[in-house]
Amino acid sequence: LQVRKRAARTGRNPATGEAIHIKASKKVAFRPVKELKEAI
């Protein structure tokens, strides 16, 4: 597993249609090892 950064961006509230600012955040992502990639 590794941590990836997500940049700040503009989103939209689906209920109201209002544009909102989404802060930068961190996300956990799965990164397979070489042996797993070769097995697939």
Per-residue model confidence (pLDDT) at position 19:
97
Per-residue model confidence (pLDDT) at position 11:
97
Per-residue model confidence (pLDDT) at position 31:
84
The CA-based angle 23-21-14, given to 5 degrees, is 120
pLDDT digits (tens, 9 = 90+) for 3-12: 999 999 999 9
Domain ranges of the chain: 2-39
- Residue identified by tokens 């042996």 is 35
CA distance 2 to 38: 20
Per-residue model confidence (pLDDT) at position 25:
97
Per-residue model confidence (pLDDT) at position 34:
80
pLDDT digits (tens, 9 = 90+) for 1-40: 899 999 999 999 999 999 999 999 999 998 888 877 788 7
